[in-house]
Structure 1
Amino acid sequence: MVKTVNKERLMANFFLPILLVVGFAIWKVLDHFTLPNTFSILLIILTALSGILWCYHRFVVNPKRSRQITRIEQRTGKTLSAEEKQKVEPVSEGSEFVASIFPVLAFVLILRSFVFEPFQIPSGSMEPTLRIGDFLVVEKYAYGIKDPVFQNTLIETGKPQRGDVIVFKAPPQPNVDYIKRIVAIGGDRIRYNELDRKITLVYGENGKPCSENCEVKEFSYSEPVENKEFQFIIGQNPDGSLMYGPSPLETTESGDVEHKIHWYPEPISEGYRYKDYSTQDNYITEWTVPENQYFVMGDNRNNSEDSRFWGFVPEKNIVGKATYIWLSLDKKQNEWPTGIRSERIFQKIQ
C-alpha cells in the first residue's frame, strides 16, 4: 500500500515536467515536417488536454473530495482545516496547474485563431512603412473566419484589396509567416519596369483578365530623396556582423493607395530571377494573377523577396490584415533593442 502511494506521489511530482517534455517533442516533430500553423496545433492540443483535466477535476475529483470531507467531518465531529482538506483525495500540483489555466488557454486560442494575432517585423523588406522591431496587430477576421489548422474559410467577412498589407504563409516556406503589400489581385495584369522601377496595373474583371475596354492605372511617384536614416544590407562580415551599403532613395508611390517605398540608388536588373511571369520583354515583366491568388511586393523594393521571385499567394495562405503597430522597439536586424520608438506606437498601417 505504501509503495503504491509513493508511486502515485512520484508520478504526481513529475506530471508537469513530463508534460513539458512531451510538448517540446511534439513541437520539434511538427517543426521537422515544416507544417504550417505549428503553434496553433500545439495550442489546440494543450487547450484540449487542459480542458479534459479541468472537467475531470470539476465533475469527478472535486465532488468526490467534498463527499469524503463531509464523511470525515461527520465521523470525527470536527471541522477540517484547509490544510487537512488538501490531504483528502489529493491530486498532483502539475495536474491542478494545467487544469487551472484552461480558461486562459481557451480565451487565447479563440482570440488568436479568430480575432487578433500578434506579429513582429523580422526584416527590412517593408521599410519605410514597417521597421525592424515593430510589433503589429493582425486582424484574423478581416478576410473570413477560418479554422486555425487547415485555414479553410468557415464564414466570409471580406476579400483582400489592392494596397492591403497582409501576413501570410510563405509559399516557399509554409511554416513561416511573411508580410507584404498586395499590389494585384486575381485577374489583374501587373507590369514592372526594372529601369524606372514603376508599376502599371491592368485591372481584371471578377477574377478574370480583362480583354477589352480595360481600366489601366500607371502608378505615379514623387521625386526620390535619399533617406539617411536607413541603409541597405549588402552582406555579412567574417565575424558574422552585417555589412551595410548605401542609403535608399525614398519616394511616395500613388496607386490604389498612397505610401512610401524605398529604392536602391541605381536600378538593379533581377529579371532573370523572376518567376511565373506571362511575358518578359527587355526590362518590362508582366504577370497575370490567377483567380483567388494575389501578387505581393515589399515596400523596400530592392530588398524584398516577394511574388516577383517565388510566385503568387493563394487566398488560403493569408493569415490576416496588418492594421496597427502596438509596440515599436528601436533596433536593427540581429541586434538587441536600444529603446522604444514611442512615436510609432498605435500608428495605423497605411
Structure 2
Amino acid sequence: MDFALILFVLSIVSGILWCYDVFRARKQRPKGSPDPWWVEYGASFFPVILPIFMLRSFWIEPFRIPSGSMIPTLQVGDFILVNKYAYGVRLPVLNKKIIAVGEPQRGDVMVFRYPHDMRQDYIKRVIGLPGDRIEYIDKRLTINGQALPVIPQGDYLIPRSFDVFQKFEEDVLGNKHMLLNNRDAQPFVPEQLLVPHEYSANCTHSRQGVSCRVPEGHYFVMGDNRDQSADSRVWGFVPDANIVGRAFFIWFHADQILPPSGVDFGRVGSFH
C-alpha cells in the first residue's frame, strides 16, 4: 500500500479526533480525569503525524536504492533524500502539480513512478528533455546532434558480482558524472525486452542502438550502469505527472555484504 496514502488517512483521522477533543470533548471532561482511549491512541498522534506528512509530501522524502542500475553514482543499500520541491509543488497522493517551481535538467538524478506500474518508484539520470533528439549508438550518447564527451577512468569492480566494467566520465552538456560500460554487452536492446508504450513510434531501434525524439511533457532517462539498466531505451519516456523529485543526498548506507555490520558511513554525503 502507498505509504503517502497511509499517512494522509492517518493525518485526517487523527486530525478530526484532535479537533473534537480540543474544541469540545476536553471542555466537557471533569478536571483531572484521564484522557479516554481515543485521545491517547488517536488525537495525541496528530501533532506528530502532521509535520511528518507535510515534510514528506512537499519537501523531503527518503528512499532506498534496491538495484545496481545507478552504479557507480549510487550503490545498492544507499539511503537517499529526494527534494520534492525542486520540480514543483504537487498534491499529496494525487501527485498533481499545483505550483511550478523548476523543471528537470539534463544530468539530474530523478526519482519517478514507473510508467507501467505506478506502485513502483524508479531512479535514473535525466538525459533528454521534451523535444530533444537522443541517440545512443555504439554506446556513445548524442543529444540534438552533439556527441557527449567521455573520458576513460580505468576499470571498475562491481561490489556484489565482482564483474569488472569500464568506467568513464561523461559530460551531459555541463553536468559531469561517472558511468559504467560492460565490454561484453551489445549496444542494442534485444527485441524481446522492449516494452510497448504510447510513444513507441518516436524511437528507432537497430543493432547499433536506439534513436528517440522525446515527446512534449516527457523525459528520457538512463541508468549510469548503462548495460545493466532497464530505462527509457527499454520502456519509454517518463511523463511529467510521474515525477517525484530530485535525488541529492545519501544519508545512510547499509548493505549485507559489507563487514561487519553492512554500515558504511563513508557513503554519506551529496553526490552528482
TM-score of the superposition, structure 2-length normalised? 0.90
Is contact 1:225-1:251 (8 Å) kept? yes
Structure 1 letter corresponding to 2:136 = Y
RMSD: 2.0
Superimposed CA distance per residue, residues 74-106 of structure 1 (whole angstroms, 9 cap, x where no aligned partner): xxxxxxxx5xx33xxx622x5422211101111
Is contact 1:230-1:247 (8 Å) kept? no
Q: What is the match of residue 173 of structure 1?
A: 117
Correspondence 1:289-304 to 2 at 5 A: 289-304=214-229
2:266 is the alignment partner of 1:349: no
State the 1:152 CA deviation: 1.3
2:76 is the alignment partner of 1:132: yes
Rounded Cα–Cα distance in structure 1 between residues aligned with 2:271 and 2:239: 23
Q: Using the aligned pairs only, state the percent identity.
A: 38
Structure 2 letter corresponding to 1:157 = V
Any unmatched runs of 5+ in structure 2?
none
Q: What is the match of residue 221 of structure 1?
A: 150
Correspondence 1:228-267 to 2 at 5 A: 228-230=157-159, 244=161, 246-256=163-173, 257-267=175-185
Q: 1:281 to 1:309 in 2, by over 3 A?
A: closer
1:270 to 189, 195, 218: 189
Rounded Cα–Cα distance in structure 2 between residues aligned with 1:324 and 1:102: 29
Which has the greater radius of gyration?
A: 1
Superimposed CA distance per residue, residues 275-330 of structure 1 (whole angstroms, 9 cap, x where no aligned partner): 52533344142100001100000001111111111110000100000011111224
State the 1:223 CA deviation: 2.3
Superimposed CA distance per residue, residues 7-36 of structure 1 (whole angstroms, 9 cap, x where no aligned partner): xxxxxxxxxxxxxxxxxxxxxxxx4xxxxx
TM-score of the superposition, structure 1-length normalised? 0.71
Rounded Cα–Cα distance in structure 2 between residues aligned with 1:158 and 1:227: 35
State the 1:139 CA deviation: 0.4
Is contact 2:96-2:241 (8 Å) kept? yes
Is contact 1:187-1:291 (8 Å) kept? yes
User: Secondary structure of 1:248's match?
Assistant: strand
Q: 1:248 to 1:43 in 2, by over 3 A?
A: same
Rounded Cα–Cα distance in structure 1 between residues aligned with 2:165 and 2:171: 19
1:288 to 199, 213, 229: 213
Aligned residue pairs, count = 264
State the 1:274 CA deviation: 4.2
Structure with bigger strand share is 2
Q: What is the match of residue 248 of structure 2?
A: 323
Rounded Cα–Cα distance in structure 1 between residues aligned with 2:14 and 2:211: 52
Structure 1 letter corresponding to 2:64 = Q
Structure 2 letter corresponding to 1:317 = N
Any unmatched runs of 5+ in structure 1?
1-30, 32-37, 70-81, 203-215, 232-243
Is contact 2:189-2:209 (8 Å) kept? no
Is contact 2:109-2:247 (8 Å) kept? yes
Q: What is the match of residue 339 of structure 1?
A: 262
Structure with bigger helix share is 1
User: Secondary structure of 1:62's match?
Assistant: helix
Correspondence 1:1-350 to 2 at 5 A: 31=1, 38-65=2-29, 68-69=30-31, 85-86=33-34, 91-92=36-37, 94-193=38-137, 195=138, 197-202=139-144, 216-223=145-152, 225-230=154-159, 244=161, 246-256=163-173, 257-268=175-186, 269-272=188-191, 273-274=193-194, 276=200, 277-332=202-257, 338-345=261-268, 347-350=269-272
User: Secondary structure of 1:45's match?
Assistant: helix
Is contact 2:210-2:233 (8 Å) kept? no
Is contact 2:189-2:233 (8 Å) kept? no
Structure 1 letter corresponding to 2:159 = F
Rounded Cα–Cα distance in structure 2 between residues aligned with 1:310 and 1:229: 25
User: Secondary structure of 2:54's match?
Assistant: helix
